[in-house]
Structure 1
Amino acid sequence: MRQAFRSWVAILFMAGLSACSTIQLEPLPEGMTDQPPPDWQDRSAKLVQFDHWQLSGKLAVRQPTDSGTAIINHWIQEGEAYDLALSSSFLGMGSTQLKGVPGFIELTLSNGETYRSGDPDSLLEAATGWQLPLESLAWWIRGLPAPAGDFRLLFDARGELAIIRQDGWEIRYDRWHELQDDTPALPARITALKDSKRVRLVVSDWQDLNP
């Protein structure tokens, strides 16, 4: 039943990809193309179904008001539900845990105080000062555009995904992890830019939690 559901989600998602987007087109960076390679549809369908995973790594945020880094002790994604544990000395955050699903977040600070909100991005910004699109990041970190919102995909000369442009963000893919089995390569480092904000995420380890 779960496999059938994931296949149905993948079909709907691919329909959105093939419809492309209405994002305002800008000149292509040198060496880039917006024409997907022949294996892109198959590759992206497999990434959509790669929806139970865990990673660890490091997060760095730079914005006009403040900057900082955090260790990602774990980021566990189970479908739409996430469990993200961060450690940072920035602004006295200490150990911070974020659990949620689209439209809801529970944030627990190192002192045990817990906050809940139906606006995950606003709560995260109020607690840490960081402006992060959490729900979109769960897609971008796999090398996929988020399902909601227009987007544009740019590929390099080797056919690798190089840039996603979505919701005013430009997500650049710098390095990739080659995994075993049938899972496509997953990002090892991404940089997300919007106006004067920059978010860099380095993944040291990926784990497939799919049953």
Structure 2
Amino acid sequence: MTRWFRWLLLPLLATLLQACTSIALAPLPEGMTDQPPADWSRRARTLGGFDHWQLSGKLAVRQPSDSGTALINQWRQEGEHYRLALSSSFLGVGSTSLEGTPGFIELTLPNGDRYQSGDPEALVAAATGWQLPLTSLTWWIRGLPAPEGDFQLLFDDRGQLTLLRQSGWEIRYDRWQAFVPGLPPLPARITALKEDKRVRLVVADWQALEATP
């Protein structure tokens, strides 16, 4: 990405996330184990097949350059295709959307300007200044490791996933909730950490979508 492109995008994204916020990290629970519970394989297969869904919630970002919150008006996932519609919860700016697949992304700014890239992570980095592994996040948000790369899972004494480490990120599962009938509980609040970057996502609603033929 060119320097002028980042210079153009940073003010808009900074406005979106400029409201100050603090992400308090709860201590890791005692008694964690890397031995999965007996039903983990079945649970992982069920959640792995849950690939058509939409959720809404709130995103909080804390990093050295800026901190803030944004509403996730909708995150719609249909297989590998995703669309995120974001807006500032404080300033009322227009919707900013991210739409794409693992090898392609289109970013639409509130003024209607669109930018495309064959490297989703690079475009997000150019726009926000921090790394966001979008492809992996579609797995982590369901409480699953991404298919690519080594990982470590830690469970609490009730057999619930508490911590996932992969690709340099540490994903803490702070709360689970039974959102969708017939499915295991899904993450209701996660905190992702990498070096000096912290991202918290709180899910308000999660719904299953029908897969189109």
- Above 0.5 in TM-score? yes
Per the alignment, residue 181 of structure 1 pairs with 181
CA contact (8 A) 1:91 1:128 kept: no
2:55 corresponds to: 55
The 8 Å contact of residues 44 and 144 in structure 1, kept in 2 or not, is answered as yes
Give the aligned partner of residue 69 of structure 2: 69
Query: What residue in structure 1 maps to residue 79 of structure 2?
Result: 79
Q: How many residues align?
A: 184
Instruction: Please say if residues 72 and 85 of structure 1, whose CA atoms lie closer than 8 Å, have aligned partners that are also in contact.
Output: yes
Q: Is the 8 A contact 1:95 1:110 kept in 2?
A: yes
Amino acid at match of 2:59: L
User: Cα deviations across residues 106-156 of structure 1 (Å, max 9, x unaligned)?
Assistant: 000000000000111121122233432211111100000111111000000
TM-score between both structures, scaled by the size of structure 2: 0.81
For 1:169, the equivalent position in structure 2 comes to 169
- The superposition leaves residues 185-204 of structure 1 with CA deviations (integer Å, 9 ceiling, x where unpaired) of 10000000111100100000
Aligned to 1:55, the other structure's residue is in SS state strand
> Which blocks of at least 5 consecutive residues in structure 1 are unaligned?
1-27
For the residues of structure 2 that align with 1:38 and 1:89, how far apart are their CA atoms?
41
Q: Distance in 2 between matches of 1:89 and 1:204?
A: 14
Report the equivalent of 2:201: 201
Say which SS state the counterpart of residue 182 (structure 1) adopts: coil
Q: Which amino acid aligns with 1:165?
A: R
CA distance in 2: counterparts of 1:91 and 1:167, whole angstroms = 34
Structure 2 unaligned segments of length 5 or more: list them. Answer: 1-27
| CA distance in 1: counterparts of 2:130 and 2:198, whole angstroms | 10
2:145 is paired with a residue of what secondary structure? coil
Tell me how far apart the structure 1 counterparts of residues 130 and 107 of structure 2 sit (CA, whole Å).
Answer: 13
Offset at residue 181 of structure 1 (A) = 3.2
Within a 5 Å distance, the mapping from 1:1-211 to structure 2 comes to 30-88=30-88, 94-211=94-211
Shift of 1:89: 6.9
SS of the residue 1:86 aligns to: strand
* Larger mean Cα displacement after TM superposition, 106-115 or 127-136: 127-136
Amino acid of the structure 2 residue aligned with 1:158: R
Contact 2:87 2:95 in 1 (8 A): yes
